[in-house]
Amino acid sequence: MAGPEQQPQRRQFVNFAFYKVDPAWRRLPESERTQGKQELIRAVEDYAGKVMVIPYSTVGIRGDCDVMLWRISYELELFQEMSTKILASGLGKYLSTPYSYLAMTKRSIYVDHHTHDNQESKRLTIVPGKSKYIFVYPFLKTRGWFLLTKAARQGMMDEHIEVGHRFPSVKLNTTYSFGLDDQEWVVAFESDKPEDFLDLVMALRETEGSRYTLRDTPIFTCVHKSLKEALDTLGG
């Protein structure tokens, strides 16, 4: 007797939302700033159990954004609902969103014979680590890359993956944006060692597959904090 059909594993929606605060917010009375931050925190906490949110600060690192929320959910609409509540908060009224990247999880077609424990490309579920830093950027390949044979692409990706395994302190999270957003992938590297990520990126520049990179900027270096800590770095 045949067993029950295996249900396909659900894929997650992933969003990297970057916020910039209007300097006018810092000139508000302290009590109003405190209340605004508390309202924003409650707006995020309202989605506990439905949207995973990992907060980061980019204050003092990039000039065009201050806070990043890495959001993961099985329902796309929850990002919109949460964002509406964030923007309606006292602090949210002073926030703009200069960057927001949307993607989904998908199993990589290149990793079948790569079995390293830290290879996240096989996963359909994002498992955020506890690293202090994350490095995020949108990524696009040239159209010529997609016209190569699968064997040719596999060979170059084997080299790419081998280089990545030289830096076990750097954890890669790759998500897919084809048709959902302007980029094709969003890559997010978690690490406690920025120097290792820098060396990894330099090494990847020397791989054959680098010839087919169309765009891999802007690049965001983000520092992991609690949401309260991240909002406190805004200067108020």
Burial class of residue 189 in the structure, from the number of CB atoms within 10 Å of its CB (0-12 exposed, 13-18 middle, 19+ buried):
buried
Cβ-based neighbour number of residue 233 at 10 Å:
16
Which structural domains are found in the chain, ordered by start?
Answer: 13-102 (3.30.70.1030), 104-222 (3.30.70.1030)
Give the residue ranges of the chain where pLDDT is below 50.
1-3, 114-121
Q: Give residue 26's identity as a one-letter amino acid code.
A: R
> pTM for the whole thing?
0.91
The pLDDT tens digits for 162-193 are 999 999 999 999 999 999 999 999 999 999 99
In the structure encoding, which two tokens stand for residue 194, read together? Answer: 């920025």
Q: Is 151 left (phi over 0), alpha (psi -120 to 50) or beta?
A: alpha
Q: Which pLDDT value is given to residue 108?
A: 86
Q: Which pLDDT value is given to residue 209?
A: 97
